[in-house]
């Protein structure tokens, strides 16, 4: 695979780049961003993956996440993929809703028409893009990586981290959808992409994965108390109960007065990156 450089900028002694490539998984051009911190020639570095939420692209966290200073100090490569395939031929929600279709891939491999051809974000994020990053950037052994995300991306980070615990040394999330099988966003996305068999949904539901035996040593979750989606869509108490029953060390921090925005994410981003770095090193 080859990549096209869209832009590069020097920042905090490192390089923030935006890149494109032709994805075999999605059948589309995909855009992603990578921050490479300053490092000695020939050195290799651990990787932190960041998965974004509904309506977002790579650009939201790249422009608003305020991660570069911490990544430069901690020696972390920061990778931000897109949230769905894009293009004129890619099917969208018939009514153009924000919570399904373009910008809302939910990090699954769709099996339902007409989405199955392009909406293969699970395989894209867990297989295709990691192989490309390993080839093109100064990454350490790919077992030295971690994953985090926000909202729908928090859902993706939790489910991927729980599925591949040997690969991801740390897993954290900002305001994640912890149990999509039990909330309206999931009730729309999961049958739309995966069909009506709820057994298929369980591998894409963090609470269900834990109930079914998936384990990681520890999780870090920050949730704002002024988040408009807290009670109806996010329900962190379900994750707390599941982790307590499974013996998973969950640090769930309810941040008073914070909402669902990147003002919230950027405030606690350095905490998360330090938590990841301690486990990656």
Instruction: Write out pLDDT tens, residues 159-198.
Output: 999 999 999 999 999 999 999 999 999 999 999 999 999 9
What is the SS3 assignment for 173? strand
Q: How far is CA 62 from CA 11, 18, 82, in A?
A: 12, 9, 11
For residue 1, the model assigns a pLDDT of 64
Segment 97-104 shows an average pLDDT of: 98
How many of the other CB atoms lie within 10 Å of CB of 266?
Answer: 15
For residue 143, the model assigns a pLDDT of 81
Round the average pLDDT of the chain to a whole number and report it.
Answer: 97
pLDDT over 70, % of the chain: 100
Segment 252-260 shows an average pLDDT of: 98
Q: How many CA atoms lie within 13 A of 44 on its CB side?
A: 13
Positions marked catalytic: 151, 227, 260
For residue 229, the model assigns a pLDDT of 98
User: For the chain, how many residues are written?
Assistant: 281
Q: How many helices (H) does the chain have, and how many strands (E)?
A: 10, 9
Cβ(182)–Cβ(201) under 8 Å?
A: no
What is the tens place of the pLDDT at every residue in 235-250? 999 999 999 999 999 9
Banded model confidence at residue 8, pLDDT cuts 50, 70, 90 = very high
* C-alpha span between 199 and 224 (Å, rounded): 31
For residue 141, the model assigns a pLDDT of 80
Give the β-pairing of 168-174 and 218-224. Answer: parallel
How many of the other CB atoms lie within 10 Å of CB of 63?
Answer: 11
What is the tens place of the pLDDT at every residue in 19-62? 999 999 999 999 999 999 999 999 999 999 999 999 999 999 99
Please choose, from the candidates 20, 125, 14, 121, the residue with its C-alpha nearest in 3D space to the C-alpha of residue 67: 14
- Token digits for 90? 């890619």
User: What global pTM score does this model have?
Assistant: 0.98
- Token digits for 86? 């894009």
What is the tens place of the pLDDT at every residue in 209-237? 999 999 999 999 999 999 999 999 999 99
């Amino acid at each position: 695979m080859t990549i096209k450089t869209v832009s590069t900028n020097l920042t905090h002694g490192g390089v923030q780049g935006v890149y494109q490539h032709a994805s075999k998984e999605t059948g589309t051009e995909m855009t992603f961003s990578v921050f490479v911190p300053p490092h000695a020639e020939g050195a290799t570095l651990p990787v932190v993956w960041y998965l974004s939420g509904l309506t977002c692209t790579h650009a939201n966290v790249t422009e608003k996440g305020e991660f570069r200073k911490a990544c430069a100090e901690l020696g972390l490569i920061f990778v931000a993929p897109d949230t769905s395939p894009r293009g004129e031929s890619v099917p969208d929600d018939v009514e153009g809703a924000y919570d399904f279709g373009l910008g809302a891939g939910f990090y699954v491999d769709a099996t339902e028409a007409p989405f199955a051809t392009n909406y293969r974000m699970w395989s894209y994020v867990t297989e295709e893009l990691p192989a490309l990053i390993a080839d093109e950037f100064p990454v350490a052994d790919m077992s030295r990586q971690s994953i985090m995300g926000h909202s729908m991306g928090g859902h993706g980070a939790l489910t991927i981290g729980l599925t591949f615990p040997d690969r991801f040394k740390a897993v954290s999330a900002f305001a994640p959808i912890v149990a999509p099988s039990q909330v309206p966003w999931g009730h729309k996305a999961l049958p739309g992409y995966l069909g009506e068999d709820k057994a298929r949904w369980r591998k894409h539901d963090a609470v269900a994965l834990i109930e079914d035996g998936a384990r990681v040593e520890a999780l870090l979750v920050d949730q704002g108390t002024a988040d408009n989606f807290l009670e109806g869509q996010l329900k962190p108490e379900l994750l707390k109960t599941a982790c307590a029953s499974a013996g998973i060390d969950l640090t769930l921090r309810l941040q008073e007065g914070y909402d669902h925005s990147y003002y919230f994410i950027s405030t606690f981003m350095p905490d998360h990156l330090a938590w990841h770095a301690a486990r990656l090193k």
